[in-house]
Structure 1
């Protein structure tokens, strides 16, 4: 190798080395800036109490959780039906005869009135048995028409008001009627058809109003809040 060749090679290597050093320094600065940006981003969300969209925040339209009564028993009233006034509704399997004989059954696995998007599915006897809560309880379910009201009350006293929007007759094997209806919160009332009980009559009503329970005026907390304080004049 001639000296001139060596000098030329050395200059080329030196220039390449300088480029590598420059590239490495530039890359380090970019990474450092990115790190500072990510730390700042996280700090802003922590300070403001927000959650970044990618970390499991609530989806659009998702509702906050609601209070769930400790006792799941419901009370059913249908003003247009002669025997459905404050009827107890117990959560159980649809073939639970003891629950059916006591009133009506909220089919286990279907929704509750306080749940968004629920289909509260309730079954009752058409004829039932004399001297029980089931006797003729849903006998006149077929009288309901669009706009008639169905009232449910939970054990905390909150009342849910529904309006009938649909009636149908289905096979006993049809289970889709127990599923939620998109965009609605509903109650479904089921009984057998007459005269041979071969099919199922279903009436569905949509939630239109919720009435919160009023505080009990005789409760200890209520009484304490009403009791007068000490008389500043001592009279």
Structure 2
């Protein structure tokens, strides 16, 4: 009996070892081969077959409008933009000229008097700029005030009430920057009822309000009973005129191309080429040329057209038109 038991255990052990060792012998049924997927790759376009614009789009990912720029240039261009924005901020006015009423006067800074009113210069021939408020030319309402008269006669703003809508005056700062303002309207207010926020407060426009006394003189308070406010808006800034780049030069037209010389200005980011119809005077843009491309385009000239090139700066302002010199 014991002999049969040992033989049974041995048989069971052999069967168990068979199932354990058989996979190691590589005797598993063969699995069907999996067909490898073929990877289809599109051949890259050779560099020599790419257009200049395609090559630039690959090399320079950053753009300003349609002009590619190197990433390393962005910091420099950002600095230039900031400088230009600083130039477009308001200024501290140093002088005012109003030709239509014969005013040409110095401006001094003034503040708030103890009674809460805006101060005015002691010199009745000078104008005061409210320094705690907005600078001239900034978005908001800058305020300039002057006397209308004095014990000895007329003062600097004696004829301010003669200004009409459309009249202009000029403010100049200590560095010679000039701003031209155009009158938009005039208003008179009883002194205690003047809309202070409207005269001194914020605005989306670049405004200057000229203020002087008007109405009857009240001897009890030692002042006129009303205030005249002339509101004017900025229409020209000499700093803004400097934003346009120089025009390209040395334009040459051959039988098959138009070329020019680059403008030496760090703010220039490219060029635009236009054709102008001689009969109608209408212009149409033909091409955009980046800073990194050759300063030329293929062109078959049309006798009914003339051609010009402009430089474009980081503010997207165009230079004056550069035409092909007449022979």
Structure-1-length-normalised TM-score: 0.55
Moved over 6 A (4+): none
Q: What is aligned with 1:209?
A: 236
2:109 to 84, 91, 103: 91
In structure 1, how many angstroms separate the alpha carbons of the residues matched to 2:120 and 2:141?
A: 22
Deviation per CA, 1:105-151: give whole Å up to 9, x if none.
10121211253x032200111103549xxx52111111111100011
Q: Which has the larger radius of gyration?
A: 2
1:123 and 1:191 in contact (8 A); partners too? yes
Unaligned runs of 5+ in 2: 1-60, 63-69, 76-83, 114-118, 218-223, 241-327
For the 8 Å contact 1:163–1:208, the answer to whether it is kept is yes
More strand by share: 2
Q: Residues of 2 paired with 1:105 and 1:97: CA distance?
A: 5
Q: Is the 8 A contact 2:124 2:156 kept in 1?
A: no
**Cα distance in 2 between the residues matched to 1:139 and 1:102:** 10
Match status 1:79 vs 2:94: no
Which residue does 2:86 correspond to in 1?
65
Closer, same or farther in 2 for the Cα pair 1:211/1:129, shift >3 Å?
Answer: farther
Distance in 2 (alpha carbons) for counterparts of 1:98 and 1:165: 26
* Equivalent residue, structure 1, for 2:176: 157
Match of 1:200 among 199, 206, 227: 227
Aligned pair in 2 of structure 1 residues 73, 187: CA closer, same or farther (>3 Å)?
Answer: closer
- Contact preservation (8 Å) 2:189, 2:227: yes
Quick one: distance in 1 between partners of 2:175 and 2:125?
Answer: 21
Match of 1:109 in 2: 132
The answer as to whether partners of 1:128 and 1:137 remain within 8 angstroms in 2 is no
Pairwise CA RMSD: 3.3
1:145 & 1:114 partners in 2: Cα distance?
A: 20
1:212: Cα distance to partner?
4.3
Matched positions, count: 151
* Residue segments in structure 1 that go unaligned for 5+ positions in a row: 1-43, 52-62, 214-235
User: Which of 124, 146, 156 matches 2:146?
Assistant: 124
Whole-Å Cα distance in 2 between the matches of residues 111 and 91 of structure 1? 12
Contact 1:94–1:123 (CA<8 Å) still a contact in 2?
no
Larger helix percent? 1
Task: Tell me by how many angstroms 1:100 deviates.
Answer: 5.0
1:195 offset after TM fit, Å? 2.5
Alignment partner, residue 148 of structure 1: 167
Q: Could you say what secondary structure the match of 1:64 adopts?
A: helix
Q: Distance in 2 between matches of 1:144 and 1:102?
A: 18
